[in-house]
Amino acid sequence: MKTYPITGRRWRAFASGLLLASAGLLAPLHAQVPSSAPQEVPVPGSVPVTADAGAAPAGTLDAARVDTFLDGLVPYLMAQGDLAGAVVTVVENGRIVTERGFGFSDVAKRAPVDPETTLFRPGSISKLFVWTAVMQLVEQGKLDLDTDINTYLDFAVPAKGQPITLRQVMTHTSGLEERLRYLIVLGPDHPATGEQYLKEWVPDQIFAPGTKPAYSNYATGVAAYIVERVSGQSFDDYAQAHILGPLGMQYASFHQTLPETLLPHVAAGYRLGSGGSNPAEKVTTPGVGGLYASGGSMARFMLAMLNQGELDGQRILRPETVAQMFAPQPAILPHLPRMALGWMTSDTGGYDTRSHGGTTLFFYSWLYLIPERNIGLFVSTNSAGRDGAGSALRAQVWERMVEEFLPQRPIQAAGPGVDADTARDHAATLAGVRWQSTRRSDSTYLRMLSLFSPVRVHPQDDGTITVDGQKGLNGQLLRWREVSPWLWQEEHGRGLLEVKIEDGRPVYFSAGPFASVFGFEPIPGWRSPAWLFPALLVSLLVLTLSAIVRISGVFVRRYHGVAAPVEGRGLRWLQTLSVTILLVGVVAWVLYAQALGAPGAIADFNNAPLLAMQALSWLAVLGALVLVWVAVRKPASWPRLRRAGAWIVAGAGLVVAFVAWTHGLLTTGVQL
């Protein structure tokens, strides 16, 4: 167990190592991708595992080699991405292969990362402990995965058509929309308890339960609350008593107010390693993402899961329960990775992988397991970094380690291919649709994202397609080639993209390792950006020109000493006021969205600006209606051009009002 702050001689040693390893480190990198045919994963020891013909025997990770590999890769990625600190732990066959700390837990104090004691914030990896707690209570007969969750609650969670079950919560198919408000809060105080958060901020359900994957923090919070109600303990205390304590995870806690013994070990959070530190991130419902844990403690959790729920004589789950958790569940698209019970499934270099990631404002983490090889890796950074460097580091470390240390498995084509005409027609069909993620907030102004940044599919000249946001680790858009009807495979990779067809039309698609937790569906035609976005731009142009004409008209009349016509003066003033309100409303929303998009802004949320924006939106709608009223009541003496202009301006106002109505700008209250 060693710590390596990135200073002085470490830089010189790293530079020498980089010269030797540069060819491998700078090669094009690919994203983690799913297997072409998801399989039931064998739990170590439960069934025989057939190794590759040339596979090395189990237990061959050499600690010295792994250390050399990490010492060459991690500092390089940190330097490129301006990251303050990182931790990596690797386990195999019941042993900790290595624990490595890099950089600083506190830059100002020059405190190095200690992989055994420094507390990182693993974010949503916390959810694995919620699922572990749920399954412990299932083992005891206190919970049933297929019972209505409202049976266990003292408030009601909405359901469409059929009740939501814990199985659906664990597979992120509850159908609930996303909620961001109060999920993460900066500073020492919570604005609400976890129970208040769950009861006062109940999201709408946008899908019937069990029909579409849509990752839900809120639903996980409900599961943690169910654990509390059934066990009679707070989730913080339950996790400590039944998971962290038995596994000897000494440097780990779900308590958002940490014990005095752990406070000195908390890593500071940074947007950039070269910048200042930030206030502690607090999670209102700790099970959703509130874990504090060191790399060494996370290693013990990985060892227990790879050893069928037992570590050092302490059992937290039965072997059959671990097998059940690792087993993929049914999915909407059969060729893509399926969600297991709380664990994401994917393919890494041909190896069936179970994993979960975590992202907070300042910490980027991932935990990976390959059960058939009894290998696990945990990686975390305490910085977001430049251009998402924290996210890239956690993926690259894992991908590169599998590539370096496990026997390579050949890439298999998922289909025989399709003819050029079919590929071209299918690509054009997908390109003609504007898509939105199933993981979204539909009842608040965040719906505006579907108008301004819909997901598009783009046909390429070589017969492949690209998809907005689907990038490899080299930062380039992945290219997908159709290998069978409505199934695409990543060029030179294992990843798959699949489309669901109903009545000859594409109704859903997903791709890559995140297919288990969200996908994409068409935006309804009545609010599709294909027509609404251009209409909004034209309307704003009309309103702006109208305002310019009105302002310039005042100066022209003054210059020539001509008085404005008396008839219709009141209507003209109403027009001017309404146009002004509409334009001010649009500008205010743009500025508000920019401010809210700043790092940490949602976590440091203020009610007053949102309430002001909502009031302004209602005024803008009223202004649009006034413009219509003016167009109807226009004086007969107005010139024909002015009368026509009144209707054009009224139409522009109605388009802006339609956007406000259809995209959540008229909601009341402070939900987000």
Domains of the chain by residue range? 2-16+33-49+58-405, 420-523, 530-662
The 3-class SS string of 555-579 reads HHHHHHCCCCCCCCHHHHHHHHHHH
Which tokens go with 617? Answer: 């939106």
- Are 90 and 61 in contact by the 8 Å Cβ rule? The answer is yes
pLDDT at residue 443, as a whole number: 83
**Residue whose structure tokens are 């270099």:** 349
- Cα(458)–Cα(600) distance, integer angstroms: 33
Over the stretch 511-529, which tens digit does the pLDDT of each residue have?
Answer: 988 899 999 999 999 999 9
Report which of residues 504 and 182 the model is more confident about. Answer: 504
- Cα(557)–Cα(555) distance, integer angstroms: 5
Which of these, 107, 67, 68, lies nearest to 89 by C-alpha position? 67
Q: Is 421 helix (H, G, I), strand (E, B) or coil?
A: helix
How many CB atoms are located within 10 Å of the residue 52 CB? 12
Examine the pLDDT at 561 and tell me if it is beyond 80: no
Phi-psi region of 430 (alpha: psi -120 to 50; beta: other; left: phi over 0): alpha
Report which of residues 21 and 520 the model is more confident about. Answer: 520
How many Å from the N-terminal Cα to the C-terminal Cα in the chain? 43
- Cα(266)–Cα(258) distance, integer angstroms: 9
- Cα(529)–Cα(646) distance, integer angstroms: 26
How many CB atoms are located within 10 Å of the residue 88 CB? 27
Provide the mean pLDDT of the chain: 86
Examine the pLDDT at 199 and tell me if it is beyond 80: yes
Buried b (16+ CB within 10 A) or exposed e, 382-395: bbbbbeebbbbbbb
Report which of residues 476 and 131 the model is more confident about. Answer: 131
Of 113-122, 175-184, 312-321, the range with the lowest mean pLDDT is 175-184
**Residue whose structure tokens are 């977001």:** 384
- Are 356 and 367 in contact by the 8 Å Cβ rule? The answer is yes
Report which of residues 235 and 556 the model is more confident about. Answer: 235
- Are 208 and 163 in contact by the 8 Å Cβ rule? The answer is no
Treating both helix axes as pointing N-terminal to C-terminal, what angle do 640-662 and 607-633 enclose, rounded to 10 degrees? Answer: 150
CB-count exposure of residue 625 (10 Å: 0-12, 13-18, 19+): middle
- The dihedral through the CA atoms of 38, 40, 44, 49 has a sign that is negative
Over the stretch 313-368, which tens digit does the pLDDT of each residue have?
Answer: 999 999 999 999 999 998 889 999 999 999 999 999 999 999 999 999 999 999 99
- The dihedral through the CA atoms of 648, 654, 656, 662 has a sign that is negative
Examine the pLDDT at 606 and tell me if it is beyond 50: yes
Confidence of residue 472 (pLDDT cuts 50, 70, 90): confident
How much is the pTM?
0.87
pLDDT at residue 573, as a whole number: 87
Q: List, in sequence order, every residue forming a beta bridge with 501; answer none if it has no partner.
A: 506
- Are 321 and 114 in contact by the 8 Å Cβ rule? The answer is no
Which of these, 143, 188, 203, 192, lies nearest to 170 by C-alpha position? 143
pLDDT at residue 602, as a whole number: 61
Fold of 2-16+33-49+58-405: Beta-lactamase (3.40.710)
240-260 average pLDDT score: 96
562-585 average pLDDT score: 82
What share of the chain has pLDDT > 90, as a percent?
70
465-486 average pLDDT score: 91
Over the stretch 242-251, which tens digit does the pLDDT of each residue have?
Answer: 999 999 999 9
Examine the pLDDT at 493 and tell me if it is beyond 70: yes
- Cα(93)–Cα(237) distance, integer angstroms: 30
Over the stretch 369-425, which tens digit does the pLDDT of each residue have?
Answer: 999 999 999 999 999 999 889 999 999 999 999 999 999 899 999 999 999 999 999
Which of these, 275, 276, 218, 243, lies nearest to 136 by C-alpha position? 243
H helices within 467-568, ranges in order?
529-560
Buried b (16+ CB within 10 A) or exposed e, 264-280: ebbbbbbbbbeeebbbb
What lies within 8 Å, CB to CB, of 468 at 6+ separation is 455, 456, 457, 458, 477
Examine the pLDDT at 31 and tell me if it is beyond 70: no
pLDDT at residue 557, as a whole number: 66
- Are 304 and 380 in contact by the 8 Å Cβ rule? The answer is no
- Cα(213)–Cα(216) distance, integer angstroms: 9
**Residue whose structure tokens are 């962290």:** 244
Instruction: Please spell the DSSP secondary structure of 130-167, one letter per residue.
Output: HHHHHHHHHHTTS--TTSBGGGG-SS----SSS--BHH
Q: β-pairing, 95-106 with 496-502?
A: unpaired
Which tokens go with 500? Answer: 């669901």
- Cα(248)–Cα(596) distance, integer angstroms: 41
Question: What letter does residue 244 receive in the DSSP assignment?
Answer: I
Which tokens go with 209? Answer: 């339960």
pLDDT at residue 53, as a whole number: 33
